Every structure is written in C-alpha cells, then in structure tokens.
Amino acid sequence: MARGHVDHRDIVKFAEDKVNLPRDTANEYRAQARRLRERLEAYLDEHPDFTLRRMLLSGSLAKGTALRSINDIDLGCYISGSNAPRNTRELLDYLAERLRKAFPNFSADQVVAQTYSVTVSFRGSGLDVDVVPILYDGDPQWYGNLVSQEDGSFVKTSIPLHLEFTKKRKDAQKVHFAQVVRLVKFWARRQKAERSGFRFKSFMIEMILAKLCDQGLDLSDYPEALQHFFTYIARSGLREMIVFADYYEPRTVPSYVQPVRIIDPVNAQNNVSRLYTQAEAAMIVEAAIDAGDAIDAALFAPTKYETVAYWQRAFGNAFQV
C-alpha cells in the first residue's frame, strides 16, 4: 500500500484531534456520574427500602469509546419493588419522582422525564445525565429489563456483563479496539448527517468489530482495520448473524426473521438490531462500500491533495493532515 501521503500515524493524530473525547473531559464526566451515584448510595443507607437500587455508568463513557461530540452521560438505574410500574410511560414518571426524592437539592425542573429516559441537568457546568430505567428483581449478574432508547420496549440484558464483554476485547487489543470503534462511530455520525434515513447504532458497530477481532483481525494499523471493517460489511451485506459464545451457547439462539441479526452477547433472545429494516441495512452497506472505495483510492492516490480528498469522503472535511 502506498502510504506516503496519509499513514497510520496521521489517522492516530486525526483521532486525537477530532474524534476522541479528551481524557480529562471524560474523567470530569465520569466524576459527575460518580457523584450522582454516591448521592443515591448515601440516600439508600438512610432509606434501605428505597426502590432505586443502583445507578451505574453505561454506554460509551463507561467503555472508553465516547466521541468528542458526546452530548449526554448515560446512567442505568436499577429499580426494584412490586409497586414499580410495568408500563414505560408510568415507569419514567415514577423514576423522575424517586430521583427528586433522592436528590432534594435538585429543583423539579432539573429532573425531567423524557420519552424513554429521565434527564438530570446540572446548573452551570457539566453535561446532562440521561438516566435509563432498568426493572430489576435481584439477579446476581444484574440482568434486568432495560427500557430501549429506540422504542421504549423492555429488553432483558445486563449492563455489567456488557462492560465485561467489551473489556475483554479492549484488553486483547489495547488502545486499538476502542480507537477503531470510535473511528467507525465518527464515520457513522457523518453518514447520518449526509444521508437521510441513515442509522447505525453504536452498539452494533461495536459488536461487529468485536466479532472481527475474535476472528483474528489485527487492528493495530488503522487504515487497514477500517478497510477490513468496510469490506466485511460490503461482503456480508449485513446478512450474517453475529453471535458470541461468552455467555451462552450460540446454538441456543432462536431463529430470527429480522434482516439484520446482531445478537446481544449476554442474551440469546435479544436481537440488538431487530428494528433495522432491509432498506436501512442496504443504506449501511452502500455507505460502507463508498468508504471502502475511498480508502482504497486514498492508498493509491499519487498526490497528497488527492489522498486527503479521498479520506475526506469517509471522514468529512474535519479530516486534515
């Protein structure tokens, strides 16, 4: 591959400057989440029967895969008790009301039930915290019914096991796994802005990369890793089922009728991509083919100007070397 104009190191630099959430900022946001969690724990010490059992950082801040463009902090909140509503709308109002109780120094307008989560806003600095309810009945591995942020339905899953799953891949390819996840998420964000109707959930991107890694893909060279990812999507057409053996036997996965089948690594019964239509899958495949072609062309372009222009087809004008 001709790498004279844009090489692995240039992608590293681009990621540091434009893609990644800076470490200090990530730590501030994690501290903000920790303070809320500790406040809940203090309240629980005084009120042991309180039904909000635990709050924990979920999502990209917990996994170290957040983008610079992050706009909220995801916290999962475990709710137990027979009087917790089983209906999403009522559960969100219930959660907001309980959070106001546990955090009396927040005014009512700082704790607001949204469609599928409750937002806690801080005065002044900090990001909003998005609290997502999880109905919980004491499972030791923290399985519970999480309110889906896509359609408000309940999905059985375990956030701590997801974090453990991701940590295993991050440990297997230190720095690179999380970095390639962030680069692909950045690409997807841009596609979303450019192609109407495009969507590609971060968790799906992460699972596809985890599968490629498990199959032996070395992510340490970013142009090549990205090219592999896009080639995989183009070749498979997103029609291959993606399933992992960490927490269940893959043969126990039921047959799914949905066009995209990326199965929750901690629950064989949960297809994480169940809401993706054939047309949406086709749009991802088309975008991946374009990105793959652009990177191919970049690697053989004769001038630096052309090389950068090809990389910009994948990453937008933010890409400069």
Instruction: For residue 264, state whether it binds ligand ATP (rule: CB under 6 A).
Output: yes
Which residue among 155, 180, 212, 294 contacts ligand ATP (CB under 6 A)?
A: 155
Phi and psi (nearest 5°) for 201?
Answer: -60, 135
Q: Which is nearer to ligand ATP, 121 or 269 (CB)?
A: 269
User: Residue 35 CA to chain centroid, in angstroms?
Assistant: 22
* Cβ proximity of 96 and 118 under 8 Å: yes
Q: Which is nearer to Mg ion, 3 or 30 (CB)?
A: 30
User: CA triplet 72, 78, 82: central angle to 5 degrees?
Assistant: 140
Cα dist from 86 to 53, 92, 136, 154, whole Å? 17, 10, 11, 9
18 secondary structure, DSSP code? I
Instruction: For residue 133, state whether it binds ligand ATP (rule: CB under 6 A).
Output: no
Which residue among 32, 60, 191, 227 contacts ligand ATP (CB under 6 A)?
A: 60
Residue 272 binds: one of Mg ion, ligand ATP, none (C-beta under 5 to 8 A by kind) = ligand ATP
- Which three-class secondary structure state does DSSP give residue 146? strand
Instruction: For residue 59, state whether it binds ligand ATP (rule: CB under 6 A).
Output: yes
Instruction: For residue 201, state whether it binds ligand ATP (rule: CB under 6 A).
Output: yes
Q: Which is nearer to ligand ATP, 8 or 192 (CB)?
A: 192
* Cβ proximity of 63 and 38 under 8 Å: no
Report 46-85 residues binding Mg ion (CB under 5 A): 59-60, 74
Q: Which residue is nearest to ligand ATP (CB)?
A: 59
Tokens (6 digits) for 257: 């009728």
Q: Which is nearer to Mg ion, 59 or 144 (CB)?
A: 59
User: CA triplet 200, 202, 208: central angle to 5 degrees?
Assistant: 85
Binding site for Mg ion (CB under 5 A): 59-60, 74
Question: Given the rule CB under 6 A, which residues bind ligand ATP?
Answer: 58-60, 63, 65-67, 74, 146, 148, 155, 157, 159, 162, 201-203, 264, 270, 272
